[in-house]
Chains A and B, each alone.
Chain A
């Protein structure tokens, strides 16, 4: 596709369940990022990938959060034992280059996660 694709677009889950969020980056983009946007707050950095390695995982809120990436393609963000405070829009972005300055990151439409 032409842009970053995220699925599902909406997810409602019960507290304590595990969820998987998927991101398909723009073809050829080597860098991939995950951000979280909670209501009334700015986007929070979670993790980024260069290829399938994650040099910076410092934004992951707890060990319930994990992410992986297959090569320079799909990434999955997994939240285990979801809590109500995990309710947010999870945004994925991708960009061409990695390194000093980098290049523009293009965002997907996000997955709106609601934990009830």
Chain B
């Protein structure tokens, strides 16, 4: 069993839809939770990160962490075609960004 599980998709939605992306994990030592966006042939770029449980909002993006269920989510409101990319969840223990464990990524397609 992988430490981090993520549905690979693809997830296809119309422009303006609310998108929900999720990951589950098994390691209870994880404390830092990140979401990266990766466009084709590019390196991942950090969208958001949270420490421990709770919600964090940044513009159209909301990240949620439920440590009791070992479940994290990223919500994208008013999705745009430019949001079409692969979204990777990543996690780490107390070391923060030093040693990340990534999910396989979910490919998102937003159609105009």
Contact = CB atoms under 8 A, between A and B. Distances in A.
Contacts of B41: 109
A59 B92 CA distance: 14
Interface of B: 4, 6, 8, 32, 41-46, 49, 51, 88, 90, 94-105
A4 interface: yes
A29 B11 CA distance: 36
Interface residues of A, number: 28
Given A42-B104, A101-B32, A48 B44 contact: no
A59 B97 CA distance: 15
A84 B14 CA distance: 39
Contacts of B99: 45, 48, 56, 59
6 contacts: A40-B8, A42-B88, A42-B101, A101-B97, A104-B97, A107-B43
B88 A107 contact: no
Contacts, number: 64
Nearest to A58: B99
Contacts of B8: 40
Nearest to B43: A107
Given A56-B98, A95-B97, A102-B96, A41 B43 contact: no
A31 interface: yes
Contacts of B43: 4, 91, 93, 107-110
A60 interface: no
Nearest to A3: B43
A103 interface: yes
Contacts of A41: 104
A78 B15 CA distance: 44
List the 4 shortest-distance A-B pairs measured between CB atoms, nearest first: A107-B43, A42-B102, A101-B96, A102-B96
Contacts of B103: 42
Nearest to B8: A40
Contact of A98 (B32, B98, B105): B98
